[in-house]
């Protein structure tokens, strides 16, 4: 972006809190992004079809000690031809949920490439990333340590907070815990930005 969009350029980012947090759900096709979205929305499994564009839902989620938080989720298709559009959905986003298929070792390198492209794009903004290791219930799923290594999460910029969360979107395991982590990272980033502005 020529005009250098950053967290300061978003009109709402100066507010201590917004009524609804803008969260973008990304990842390769068939990783389970839409299953994650509808599990959070309806608290039940919804049979989905590949997303050709995007789905959007406002979801109120009860997060343990944080109370009820409203998330405005944008679930964007992960097919290769749609990935260039991802950056349009990440402008002024509060957080990213990046879903990976824990069983699909063959495409983990492709997921890594897209994740690092995304992180580089958002680096100056310090947008927190929740990496959801979906399908952890399956017997042949990769371990979290294997996924962390294959995605080279340790190589992400220090300005990009991230958390790797094991989950099973079909039954919802790990999703609320992951959102709690994401919410905490968002609050910490806002606090840090506000402190920098005061200096």
Instruction: Name the binding residues.
Output: 27-34, 51, 78, 134-137
Say how far apart CA 104 and CA 115 lie, in whole Å: 15
Q: Which of 180, 163, 175, 105 is nearest to 134 (CA)?
A: 175
Which residues, including other chains, have CB under 8 Å from residue 132's CB and lie 6 or more apart? 27, 32, 36, 97, 98, 99, 100, 165, 167, 169, 174, 175, 178
Of 79, 189, 195, 196, the catalytic one is 79
The distance from CA 76 to its chain's CA centroid, rounded to whole angstroms, is: 11
Binding residue numbers for GTP: 27-34, 78, 134-137
- According to DSSP, the residues that pair with 58 across neighbouring strands are 72
The two beta strands, 95-101 and 67-76, are: unpaired
Alpha-carbon distances, residue 187 vs 3, 13, 51, 124 (angstroms): 26, 11, 30, 17
Q: Verify whether residue 79 is a known catalytic residue.
A: yes
| Residue whose tokens read 């905490």 | 184
Residues facing residue 55 across a β-bridge: 75
User: How far is the C-alpha of 192 from the C-alpha of 4, rounded, in Å?
Assistant: 20
Instruction: Cite the active site residues.
Output: 79
């Amino acid at each position: 972006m020529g005009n250098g969009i950053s967290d300061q350029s978003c009109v709402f980012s100066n507010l201590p809190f917004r009524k609804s947090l803008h969260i973008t759900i990304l990842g390769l096709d068939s990783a389970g992004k839409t299953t994650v979205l509808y599990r959070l929305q309806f608290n039940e499994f919804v049979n989905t079809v590949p997303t050709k564009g995007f789905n959007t839902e406002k979801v109120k989620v009860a997060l343990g000690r944080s109370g009820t938080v409203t998330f405005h989720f944008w679930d964007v298709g992960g097919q290769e031809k749609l990935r260039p559009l991802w950056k349009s959905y990440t402008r002024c986003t509060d957080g990213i949920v990046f879903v990976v298929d824990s069983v699909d070792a063959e495409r983990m390198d492709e997921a890594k490439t897209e994740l690092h492209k995304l992180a580089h794009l958002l680096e100056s903004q310090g947008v927190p990333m929740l990496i959801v290791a979906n399908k952890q219930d399956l017997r042949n799923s990769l371990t979290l340590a294997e996924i962390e290594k294959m995605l080279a999460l340790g190589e992400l910029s220090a300005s990009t907070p991230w958390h790797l969360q094991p989950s099973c979107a079909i039954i919802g395991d790990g999703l609320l815990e992951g959102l709690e982590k994401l919410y905490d990272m968002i609050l910490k980033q806002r606090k840090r930005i506000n402190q920098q502005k005061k200096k």
